[in-house]
């Protein structure tokens, strides 16, 4: 009697492949939502709109308030908790960010990270940058206590540390290894 082919493949390899496929499928939902929201809502207006800016801020406030109900999610491991909350809130948050960014003045720092977002997405988990930022922020937050302001500062410090480390990585890759992200050497 022959063994099934899948019997010789370790479970972690199968689950890893399945996660990659499902992350791609979930990402395609956001790509489609982004395409249609742009063509229906944003494509018609190229100029500043106070209403769009206010709508974006309201969307972000709603998302921040309601994501706490869903709990901690991890897209890398596909821990999304309540799907009925996760998908609408993630799309609302994405649209809110787009509306805010579309209606504020151009900032060189935001443009820098936007143009190099592929590097950030590729390195912040795999190179343990997020882990280092969390550990450094835990040292900082240990001094501050357990208040809600301390939690907000903890999260803010993680973001700042990640972006500081990523800035160095971005500059190194753009200067010495631009081919890694499909750019030509200048």
Distance CA 3, CA 37 (A): 50
Kindly tell me if the per-residue pLDDT of 3 is higher than 70.
Answer: no
Distance CA 61, CA 54 (A): 11
User: Considering the entire predicted model, what is its pTM?
Assistant: 0.66
Kindly tell me if the per-residue pLDDT of 144 is higher than 70.
Answer: no
For the segment 56-62, the average pLDDT, to the nearest whole number, is 92
Please tell me the predicted confidence (pLDDT) of residue 163.
94
> Mean pLDDT over all residues of the chain?
83
Kindly tell me if the per-residue pLDDT of 38 is higher than 70.
Answer: yes
Distance CA 66, CA 159 (A): 21
Q: How confident is the model at residue 43 (pLDDT cuts 50, 70, 90)?
A: low
Please tell me the predicted confidence (pLDDT) of residue 146.
67
For the segment 62-69, the average pLDDT, to the nearest whole number, is 83
Distance CA 60, CA 29 (A): 20
Kindly tell me if the per-residue pLDDT of 165 is higher than 90.
Answer: yes
Distance CA 156, CA 147 (A): 14
Kindly tell me if the per-residue pLDDT of 5 is higher than 60.
Answer: no
Contact 181, 173 (CB under 8 A): yes
- Residue 18 is given by DSSP the state H
User: What would the two tokens of residue 60 be?
Assistant: 């972000």
């Amino acid at each position: 009697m022959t063994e099934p082919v899948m019997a010789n493949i370790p479970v972690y390899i199968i689950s890893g492949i399945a996660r990659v496929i499902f992350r791609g499928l979930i990402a395609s939902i956001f790509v489609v939502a982004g395409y249609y929201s742009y063509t229906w809502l944003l494509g018609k207006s190229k100029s500043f709109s106070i209403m769009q800016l206010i709508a974006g801020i309201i969307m972000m406030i709603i998302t921040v308030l309601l994501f706490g109900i869903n709990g901690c999610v991890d897209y890398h491991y596909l821990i999304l908790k309540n799907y009925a909350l996760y998908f609408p809130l993630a799309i609302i948050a994405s649209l809110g960010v787009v509306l805010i960014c579309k209606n504020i003045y151009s900032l060189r720092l935001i443009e820098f990270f936007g143009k190099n977002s592929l590097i950030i997405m590729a390195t912040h988990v795999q190179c343990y940058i997020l882990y280092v930022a969390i550990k450094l922020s835990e040292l900082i937050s240990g001094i501050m206590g357990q208040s809600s302001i301390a939690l907000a500062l903890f999260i803010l410090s993680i973001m700042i540390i990640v972006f500081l480390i990523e800035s160095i990585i971005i500059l190194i890759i753009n200067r010495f290894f631009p081919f890694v992200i499909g750019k030509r050497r200048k």
